Every structure is written in C-alpha cells, then in structure tokens.
Amino acid sequence: APLSLINMLLTYIGRAKNVELEKRLQEYDNIWNTFDLFV
C-alpha cells in the first residue's frame, strides 16, 4: 500500500482515539462538576 494511504489510516485512527479521549474527559468533567454541586 502507498505510504499516503497508511498515513491517512493512522491519522484516522488517531482522530478516532482523540474523540474517544475527549468524550471520556468530558464525562469526567461532568462527574466532577456534579460532585462540586454536592460539596
């Protein structure tokens, strides 16, 4: 396979992982915000 295709694939995978990470971080953020309301 051409290098550009492999690069595209890696970029796509990297983006997908970043999106997952951002969702997780957002969830943690929401949990902490909710926790702060009780304190």
Question: Can you give the pLDDT at residue 8?
Answer: 93
Rounded CA separation 20/30 (Å): 15
Rounded CA separation 16/9 (Å): 11
Rounded CA separation 18/29 (Å): 16
Question: Can you give the pLDDT at residue 39?
Answer: 65
DSSP 15: H
- pLDDT average per 10 residues of sequence, the chain (39 residues): 87 90 91 80
Question: Could you tell me the pTM of the whole model?
Answer: 0.54
Give the DSSP H or E segment for 2: none
Question: Can you give the pLDDT at residue 1?
Answer: 62
CA-based angle 31:24:30, to the nearest 5? 20
